[in-house]
Structures are given as structure tokens and as C-alpha cells.
Amino acid sequence: MAPNIGSKVILDRSGLDRLIADLRGRGYRVIGPVLADSAVIYDEIQSAADLPAGCRDDSEAGTYRLDQTGEPWLFGYTLGVQGWKRHLYPPRQRLFRAERGERGFRLLDDQEVEAPLALLGVRACELAAIQVLDGVFDHEGFTEPGYLRRRQNAFIVAVECGHAAATCFCASADTGPAVGQGYDLRLNEIAGQGNWLFVAEAGSEKGLAVLAELPSRPASPDQIAAAAAQPQQAASQQSRQLKDDAARVLAVSTESPYWDKVAERCLTCGNCTMVCPTCFCTSVEDVTDLAGDIAERWRRWDSCFTLDYSYIHGGNVRSKAASRYRQWITHKLATWHHQFGRSGCVGCGRCIAWCPVGIDITAEVRALADAERGR
């Protein structure tokens, strides 16, 4: 029997291989979790053999370790180091090339054609992050065509979390761990007692067309219940919480003396912005060939933690670390609401794990609230 949208079926290991092969056959570049430099990152995969079998990440403030459990899980880790933004809005993008002429210059029309992306292993918080980026790159008459093209053409395979890292706080950010809307396929990986399989469900016509081609069988009530229990378990494991009134706390903390306390620890390295799945700031770079006849403009990710970011003739607007940390967290949790109608934080906790000094966004909001009450 062919599955319907929303109906749950079982895929086994060969089904997952078929899924990846089928997506590749349809012309997708399949991006999934892979092991690199003792970490899970999202990169191109050829088959399920590329997935990080048995890996579990152990994150704390300022800490990330990857353990090999020897268990059969392919999606036993929680998150890749960087989100899917890396593929939907790459760190370096060429804007144009231009060629000098006898007089003046002209633009060269030679943009490369990119294969559509299939994203395998998108977590609930990451799907929320993609939806946050949708709001950034398509708002108030502005559209970013490169992002929108990749986004519209992308095939999203969400994999629900059955386990939370210590840095996770998606439950309090209201983005997970259950995967809501916006996926083409949703998988739950079930392992144990000699079983190892996926409960799969299509969330779109596009997803259904792919799922219908795969060898599957209907899921049993027990298997459906086991899948449904996974996000509940991941939620119950979360001890970190983002305060509900974070936006209000930031709004009244502009002149808080507490910023200097954060600045005593913040190295302004920009790691938090590089791993944040919603940070969207970019800069531009201009290069020419040696003869100076061909010029290129590149857009690259930038960070509000750099001095250069706020440079105008006469100086840098935000010269102090305190001002730059204030800008980052205020934008993420407060002014994002003014700009895009929601918070910019999805609760993935990457900024906590990858901060070299372990600055914790959830703890800083609490400390600001305490400082505000104490004033």
C-alpha cells in the first residue's frame, strides 16, 4: 500500500540507502552529517555509510566532545557544529565578476548553476532556524534570490531528536524537540532489542513522491508510540532554559552595568556568530586578477564581534567588547522581534558549546534580569 501524507511507515537500513540514492538520482546534492576533525559537520554524502554511526556529542559550556558509543545509531548525535545555513547561504558567495574595458568596465554573466540540495538530518531547532532565515531573506519587499532559490529547491529530511545535549534549550525556545511543519520527510530512528529502523512520514507532496518509491511497510502502534516518545524524552533531558521574557529583559538592559561583567570574559572571537544557525551578517570583499582587468565581488559571513563591522570614517561605532556583546544578544533576543516578528534564537545551544570561555546565553539573560531587579 502506498503511504499518504502523515501516514507512518517503516524504513530499514536498505530503505535509508535507497532514500539517499533516490535523492541523488533525482539530481539532489545530498548533505548530511559526517565525521570531520572529531566533530559532526554537514557535508555532501554518497550513502548511509558516510553517516556518523555510533557517534554521540557531549556538549557543555565551552566544551564539545564526540564519543563513539558502539551503538548502531546513525543520528545518535544531537547537532552538527554549524547549521544548514552553511549550505543555504554559504560562507563565501561570489556576487559578480566584472571586466575592465577600453573605457570603464562591464559585468560578466557567468554565474554557476548549482544542484538542488537535499538536507538529511535536519533537527527541529534547525528547521526553525531555516524558517527564521526565510524571514530575513524575504521581508518588506526585499528578497535574496540565491537563498530563496536554494531554499525553494531544497528537499528536507527531518530527523527527530530522542536525546538532548546539555547545551540544548529548544523546549524553552519553543522550537522543538518535536519537528513541526516544513519538512518533506520526517524520520525517527528507533534502535534497541535487536531492532534498528526508521519510522518515516511524508510532510509534503514532494516528500510523498520520494517515500512512495522506497521499500516500506506500515508502522505498528508500538513503533509509532516509540517514535512519539522520542521528542518527549529529549525535552525532559533539557535543564537549560531561555527566560520567556528575554526580549523585555534586553529592552530594559541597554544601559546595564552588567555588560562590563560579560566583557571581562568575552574574547570577541565571533565563534558564537559563526555557529549560530540564524546569524546572517555578511561583508563584501573585492579582488582583482594580477593585471587588474578582472574584478570579483564576494560576499562572506561577517560577525558583529569584529571591530571592522561598525567602522565608519572617524572610528568604530562599537569599540568596546561590552557594546559588541550587547549588540549580538540584544539583536538575537529582542530587536529581532521588531525586525522580523520573532526571536532570532532557536535554542540549539551551539553558542554556549563553542564559546571558548563558556558564556551561556541563557545564563546571561538571567544575570541581566537579576541585575535589572537589583538596580
Sites of contact with other proteins (CB under 8 A): 95-96, 98, 100-101, 103-107, 136-137, 139-140, 142-146, 148-149, 152, 254-255, 280-284, 286-288, 292, 295, 297, 299, 302, 304, 309-314, 317-320, 322-323, 327, 331, 335, 338-339
CA 42 from chain centre, in angstroms, equals 10
Cβ of residue 105: shortest distance to other proteins, in angstroms? Answer: 5
C-alpha cell belonging to residue 363: 545564563
241 vs 316 by CB, closer to other proteins: 316
Q: Of 6, 9, 32, 5, whose CA–CA distance to 198 is shortest?
A: 9
311 vs 356 by CB, closer to other proteins: 311
91 vs 215 by CB, closer to other proteins: 91
Cβ of residue 292: shortest distance to other proteins, in angstroms? Answer: 6
The Cα 122–Cα 84 span in angstroms is 8
The Cα 87–Cα 93 span in angstroms is 11
Cβ of residue 275: shortest distance to other proteins, in angstroms? Answer: 16
C-alpha cell belonging to residue 159: 530527523
Pairing of strands 185-192, 155-159: parallel
* DSSP track, 337-370: HHHHSS-S-----HHHHH-TT---HHHHHHHHHH
Cβ of residue 268: shortest distance to other proteins, in angstroms? Answer: 13
292 vs 374 by CB, closer to other proteins: 292
320 vs 366 by CB, closer to other proteins: 320
**Side-chain half-sphere CA neighbours of 146 within 13 A:** 17
Cβ of residue 242: shortest distance to other proteins, in angstroms? Answer: 20
